[in-house]
Structure 1
Amino acid sequence: MEVNTDGWSSDKHIVLAVSTGIDSMVLLHQLITNLQDTYAQLTCLHVNHNIRSIADEEELFLKQYCIDHNIALHVKHLDLSTIVEKGNSIENEARLERYRWFDLIMKDLNADVLLTAHHQDDQLETIFYRLMTGRSTRSSLGMSYLTTRGSYDLCKPLLTTTKIEIQNYQHAYDVPFYEDATNAENYYVRNDIRNRILPEIEQNKQLETKQLLKLKEWHDEQRVVIENEANAFVESDVEISSTQYRFSRKQFLQLRHSVKMTVLDKLFANILTRDPLTEKTYNEWFQIMGENIAQSTLYTTDKWIIYIAYDKFIIMANDDVKLSPAKIDQSGTYNFSHYSIDINNDLPTFEFPLLVRTRNDGDKFELNGMKGHKKVSRLLIDNKIEQQKRGQIPIIVNANNEIIAVGTLFLKRKYKDLICIRDMGEEKNER
């Protein structure tokens, strides 16, 4: 039975996740016999999920096995009772809990490579599962032999080894193991694929499940092309700052569908702590972006706001700043949000106090050089001011309760040389 040892070298501390099933026990046997010269140190990890009645017996068996072979073993007990009581599937949650512990223990051990006993049959199952559940468009179609996970590498040295080869090895060397009875139950989707669907496909002489491996190879090649296109867009067309991502809505919509999703996945990977957003959510956004909608908030969290504003798609920090009105009694320089307001010494005293505030519903100002008034809201629309920025624009009101300035968009003519408003945020972006 071949074990791919390319993922580590003779000076590395390797760690094996052992379930006591046939796959991990056969791999462990290989490591302590035929492959004992391929690494510097070997440690085993075991997770007791405390679900099956035999779990404690398996743990004791593995402890004794490791003692007999002078192997360090670390055991983690999980409590999944709450999830079980709710009737929810424990597969995904158990995996997340396992890898949270793996991450911690690998760091504590200062180990280099974590090995798992996934094999070729697992790979076929994974490919089929991702295809049939629509999880094939945003990531690799199957598992990778070697990936980097934080401070260590995750390696699957049996990924090209078949289950039959593992079973033959176990029989030849009488490797002890425990059979998980739940593996025969088709309640879980992956079990159903493994036990019923793939075997039925193999029974048809014109079909061969290993063709899925060719599909994965082709799919991964296409993913490289998509990743390159997405990287090129992010590097050349996305304006990035510490608090904002911004790019052209029109240019983005011209990308291929898979590239658009990959671009967003890359950006959100840096800011969203939750699971990736669904493809359905992305498709809803793409539809809105393609319609004649000037502004729309697409998604918000306590830290980020995602929205479209005219020709821009914007991801920005959700500061949620509530600006209080400011009273100005004399000339000088004042700050309001990211605006600087200079009041000249020549401004007549009867104009004071000036009030600087954000806009109110129904705000109007008298037009320069013509009769009539204009709503502040209309001014903002005409100048295509993004919705998220409108609440930051300073409105200056004089002692007669007249609006004499609206940010950098309007200044009553007679105050031209007396009041100067600058958007320091815009000037900073220009630099």
Structure 2
Amino acid sequence: MNLNNIFKRHLQQGRFFDKGKRVVVAVSTGVDSMVLLSLLQRLPETVRPQIVVAHVNHQLRKQSKEEEQFIRHYCSTHHLRLVVYQWAIAEHPTTGIEEAARKIRYHFFNRVMKQEQASVLITAHHKNDLAETMLMKLTRGGQLHQLIGMKEQRDFVDGKLVRPLLDFTKQQLREYAISNHLKWYEDETNYELTVSRNRFRHRIIPLLEAENPNLLDSLSSYHEQLELAVELEDQFAKEQLQRIKDKQGHVNLKQLLQFSLAKERLILLKWLEWSGATNLKQGFIEQLLADINNRHLPQFNRQITPKLILFKNYSELFLKNVNQLPQKAQTSLNSVVKLGRWYPIGNDYQIAVALTKQFFGKTVDYQEMWLAPEQLPLRIRRWQSQDRLPLKNGGHQKISRVLIDQKVPLSERDQQLVIADAKNNIVWAVGRKWGWFTRPDDYLDQWQRLVIGIRDLKRRKE
């Protein structure tokens, strides 16, 4: 069976795209992409898609201009729609040129798909590319799903990217090109051994093939097995997360720690990945697991990504976007308390100090306090590490201990406010605990009575 028929059958089995649908085909003018384009063109009308060719002139080599002219002539001759992007030399970075070029290409392909109203991008990656990628991933280390290397189909922006040549070797494609008299261009940079992929292609893989002539088929088989293994891992992790998460999306720590360490790692990783934290370093993951399993570390928070923070709070794990954290404006609150004025405590509460309880009405919780003249004025501010509450027995308690005893999450501790007197004694750890001041016998004549209240804005809305 010739390659055209094998390709046709493979497309029908893989269901890569529907017949007659518009697809964008990435064509570099190398042998792989020219063979892909030819195979698509030669499909029977019953299965052939509408082809839009996308070509990027990177202007990195002398022959780039010639390659662009070639593909323009080819598409004109074969009545194919062509869209070309020229990457201006002035926009080339001084370092990281390969990664920058890759980003430019895929950004362009995405734009062409939207412009042409196509939902499928087709690239010419083949079995050798798959082997190179798998071995490179294996060498660098990482997570199991990364070892898959490339998928035949994956999501790409609002559509999908398909690689229908992953079952075919470079040799098969080259033989097809020669027998069908196709013209293509060789990229000389593909032989530069300073590039990691080229070293795998020209040195490492030939050595491995000398040990096992069926290396490419073996790696392709592992690829299929890995895809199934990762699929089963995903299914297991999803089922367990549904069982140990609450309605807020918080993970029950006690239930998570009942799993073996390997399963715990898997569930944690999947939870983080599905929340947007991908490509985490192995060392970071292991340290995170150690901290989660550390009973002497009941609370902590870790920056997972620039936008995502993980919190361990005694019996649960949860994630917060940095935009969900309390506003910094509140932490700078440090002002003399004015009577009859409401002060915000986060988004849900307000506090005020007044001379009479009538100021608060019936819906506000309040506390009556008698203070000596030298204790005034009061000040509201964020708590400090040296802050202590005076106790009835004459002792003191650190505010930090109050927060620990009441199991206040770390994410809320930095925002804790206190009301302090003129001597910096703590009158109230707001919403947590009151201070005690021993009154003299004549306090009614000498001291000032104040009423401190807190109101729940959520309750007011209801």
Regarding TM over 0.5, the answer is yes
> Contact conserved, 1:326 with 1:356, CA < 8 A, in 2?
yes
Q: Tell me: CA distance 1:180–1:235, structure 2 relative to 1, closer, same or farther (3 Å).
A: same
Q: How many Å separate the matches in 2 of 1:120 and 1:401?
A: 72
User: 2:272 aligns to what?
Assistant: 264
Contact 1:328–1:354 (CA under 8 A) maintained in structure 2: yes
Q: Measured at CA, do residues 95 and 238 of structure 1 come closer, stay the same or move farther in structure 2, by a change above 3 Å?
A: farther
Residues 265, 304 of structure 1: alpha-carbon distance in 2 compared, 3 angstrom cutoff: closer
Counterpart residue number, 1:272: none
Equivalent of 1:91, from 82, 86, 98?
98
1:374 is matched with 397
Other structure's SS at 1:268 match: coil
1:276 lines up with 2:279 in the alignment: yes
CA distance in 2, matches of 1:205, 1:412: 78
Q: How far has the Cα of 1:96 moved from its partner?
A: 2.0
Distance in 1 separating the partners of 2:246 and 2:98: 40
- Measure, in 2, the Cα distance between the counterparts of 1:135 and 1:305: 22
Q: Secondary structure at the match of 2:144?
A: coil
Report SS of the residue matched to 2:17. coil
1:105 Cα offset (Å) = 1.9
The one of 23, 27, 42 equivalent to 2:36 is 27
AA in 2 matched with 1:389 = E
Question: Is the Cα contact below 8 Å between 1:333 and 1:342 reproduced in 2?
Answer: yes
Separation of aligned partners in 1, 2:212 and 2:335: 81
| Distance change in 2, residues 1:268/1:403 (3 Å) | same
Partner AA of 1:74 in structure 2: V
- The equivalent residue for 1:355 is 379
> Residues 402, 131 of structure 1: CA spacing in aligned structure 2 closer, same or farther, 3 A cutoff?
closer
Which residue matches 2:52?
43
- Give the CA deviation at 1:60: 0.8
Match of 1:70 in 2: 79
Residues 397 and 287 (structure 1 numbering): CA distance in 2 closer, same or farther, change over 3 Å? same
Kindly indicate whether the alpha-carbon contact (under 8 Å) linking 1:131 and 1:141 is maintained by their aligned counterparts in 2: no
Secondary structure at the aligned position of 1:210 is classed as helix
More moved, 228-237 vs 75-84: 75-84
Distance 2:158 2:213 in 1: 45
Shift of 1:111: 0.9
Establish whether residue 16 from structure 1 lines up as the match of residue 25 from structure 2: yes
| Contact preservation (8 Å) 1:44, 1:73 | yes
**Which among 292, 295, 298 is matched to residue 302 of structure 2?**
298
Q: CA deviation at 1:115?
A: 0.7
After TM superposition, the structure 1 stretch with the greater mean CA deviation from structure 2, 370-379 or 295-304, is 295-304
Taking structure 1 as reference, are residues 356 and 84 closer, same or farther at Cα in structure 2, changes over 3 Å only? closer
Matched, 1:403 2:426: yes
Structure 1 unaligned residues grouped into runs of 5+ = 270-274
The 8 Å contact of residues 42 and 71 in structure 1, kept in 2 or not, is answered as yes
Q: Distance between the aligned counterparts of 1:218 and 1:12, measured in 2? A: 31
Give the drift of 1:68.
0.9
How far did residue 168 of structure 1 move?
2.2
Q: For residues 127 and 214 of structure 2, what CA distance do their matches in structure 1 show?
A: 17
Q: How many residues in Structure 1 have an aligned counterpart in Structure 2?
A: 416
Shift of 1:394: 2.6
Among residues 214, 217, 222, which one is paired with 2:221 in the alignment? 214
Tell me which amino acid in the other structure corresponds to 1:57: E
CA distance in 1 between counterparts of 2:284 and 2:276 reads 13
1:390 matches 2:413: yes
**Pick from 181, 195, 206: which aligns with 2:202?**
195
Instruction: Tell me which residue corresponds to 2:321.
Output: 317
Partners of 1:311 and 1:280 in 2: how far apart?
24
Q: What letter matches 1:261 in structure 2?
A: L
Q: Distance in 1 between matches of 2:306 and 2:171?
A: 51
Matching residue's letter, 2:403: L
- The answer for unaligned runs of 5 or more in structure 2 is 358-367, 438-447
Give the CA deviation at 1:327.
Answer: 4.8
User: What is the alpha-carbon distance in structure 2 between the residues aligned to residue 379 and residue 408 of structure 1?
Assistant: 11
| 1:240 Cα offset (Å) | 7.1
TM-score norm. by structure 1 comes to 0.84
Of the candidates 96, 110, 128, which is equivalent to residue 103 of structure 1?
Answer: 110
SS in 1 for 2:397: strand
Distance 1:306 1:280, change over 3 A: same
Deviation at 1:13, TM superposition (A): 0.5
Cα 1:204–1:262 change in 2 (3 A) is: same
- Are 1:227 and 2:234 counterparts? yes
Give runs of aligned pairs for residues 112-127 of structure 1, distance below 5 A: 112-127=119-134
1:204 to 211, 217, 226: 211
- Structure 2 matches for 1:143-162, cutoff 5 A? 143-162=150-169
Measured in 2, the distance between the counterparts of 1:301 and 1:127 equals 26
TM-score, normalisation: structure 2: 0.79
| Equivalent residues of 1:356, 1:396 under 8 A apart | yes
Question: 1:181 and 1:348, CA in 2 relative to 1: closer, same or farther beyond 3 A?
Answer: closer
Matched, 1:60 2:84: no
User: What percentage of aligned pairs have identical amino acids?
Assistant: 27
Residues 325, 44 of structure 1: alpha-carbon distance in 2 compared, 3 angstrom cutoff: same
Moved more, 202-211 or 140-149: 202-211
Of 403-412 and 152-161, deviating more is 403-412
1:2-45 deviations in Å (ceiling 9; x for gaps): 22332111231011100101111112112223345424521100
CA distance in 2 between counterparts of 1:196 and 1:301 reads 37
CA distance in 1, matches of 2:46, 2:342: 74
Matches within 5 A, 1:179-194: 179-194=186-201
